[in-house]
Amino acid sequence: MGGFRGDGRLLGLLIWGSALTFLGAFNQSVRAAEPSGSGEASHPSLLSLEENSLGFFPLSLAAKFPDNLEVTENCLEMLRIFGQRYVTVVNCLVSSARPLKVCQNCYQGYSSFDEIYTNISSGQTGSGNVSCQDSLMRSDRLMLLFNLYSSLTDIWTTALCTQCLTPDKKSLTNSTLDFIAHLNKTLSCFEKYQGNHTELCSDCKATYKGLNEMYSSMLKNKTYCIDIEDAMNVTRRLWSKNFGCSVPREETVPVIAVSSFMLFLPVIFYLSNFLHSEQKKRKLIHPKRAKSNHSLMNIQDKFS
């Protein structure tokens, strides 16, 4: 019995040693087959050989999907155009950040970008009766194209750029062009008297005042955008802070008059109350009861 156990252990050791010897020889043969050089060399591993022998292969992200899930060539072309126009608009916005001229410099690029997004999201079917809206915008929860478009649209809307554009969004409005021309005239006057602020305040006063009136009119009619607002703020800082000039505003006169009237309202109220009460005192008459009592006393005196 003990001999049988000893023979079994010996047989197991022999089998295990043979397996290790086989694996060592296999690894040496694989290393010998590796090409020498500095580049990366891919060699088969035991795991890959086992997978190949069993018929399993790792899934690659570059694998081709079935034809019914592939994006059509037409949609891929629209996606490429969308990317190009998006980059164009972003580059324009960044380059026009200072001085702020996003509306007047980027309206053409944004109009083209908005056009390609409208074509993608319209739901129209192209070749193969496939809608690019489904394949490019609704195929995953990230909704990348929609989020990219929304980010630029939020900037465009906040800047009120449409108020400086014609209804077809292909050119600047006449009021915007007039303001830009008057602004350039004002800044040219500032530059002319850069070294003499006294002459600047006197000679550029009419031009600056006209620019202010034009801006106030655009605010009232809602025909301004962020370009005009920022340009006016910068011009006002130059006029008042840098050059130390001032222009008396005509609308301050009625404001002062109304404020003064409001301040004197309490005085007028108390004064009128006082005068009214004095008039009431003067019109007081003796009550009839007191008069009748006096007559009764006279009658009593006579009888007494």
Each of the 304 residues of the chain gets a pLDDT tens digit; together they read 444 444 455 445 444 455 445 445 444 544 444 444 444 444 444 334 344 444 444 555 555 555 545 678 889 999 999 999 999 999 999 999 999 999 999 999 999 999 999 999 987 765 556 678 888 888 788 999 999 999 999 999 999 999 999 999 999 999 999 999 999 999 999 999 988 899 999 999 999 999 999 999 999 999 999 999 999 999 999 999 999 998 765 555 566 667 776 776 777 767 777 676 766 555 555 555 555 555 555 555 555 5
The predicted pLDDT at position 185 comes to 97
The predicted pLDDT at position 292 comes to 53
Residue from 247, 215, 219 nearest 231 by CA: 215
For residue 131, report the phi and psi dihedrals to the nearest 5 degrees: -90, 125
According to DSSP, the residues that pair with 165 across neighbouring strands are 172
CB 106 within 8 A of CB 227: no
The predicted pLDDT at position 47 comes to 38
Instruction: Round to whole Å and give the CA distance between 223 and 128.
Output: 46
The predicted pLDDT at position 206 comes to 96
The predicted pLDDT at position 271 comes to 72
CB 108 within 8 A of CB 117: no
In Å, how far are 145, 154, 165, 166, 236 from 111, measured between CA atoms?
Answer: 16, 14, 11, 12, 32
The predicted pLDDT at position 43 comes to 44
The predicted pLDDT at position 218 comes to 97
Distance of CA 180 to the CA centre of its chain: 24
- DSSP letters, the chain, are -HHHHHHHHHHHHHHHHHHHHHHHHHHHHHHHHSPPSSS------HHHHHHHHHT--PPPTTPPPPGGGSPPHHHHHHHHHHHHHHHHHHHHHHHTTTTT-HHHHHHHHHHHHHHHHHHHHT--B-GGG-BHHHHHHSSSTT-HHHHHHHHHHHHHHHTTGGGGB-TTSSSB-HHHHHHHHHHHHHHHHHHHTTT-HHHHHHHSHHHHHHHHHHHHHHHHHT---HHHHHHHHHHHHIIIIIS------TTHHHHHHHHHHHHHHHHHHHHHHHHHHHHHHHT----HHHHHHHHHHHHHHHH-
Q: Helix axis angle, 73-95 relative to 144-158, nearest 10°?
A: 30
The predicted pLDDT at position 207 comes to 96
Q: What is the pTM of this model?
A: 0.61
Instruction: Report CA Rg, the chain.
Output: 46
For residue 281, what are the contacts with CB-CB under 8 A and spacing of at least 6? none
The predicted pLDDT at position 20 comes to 47
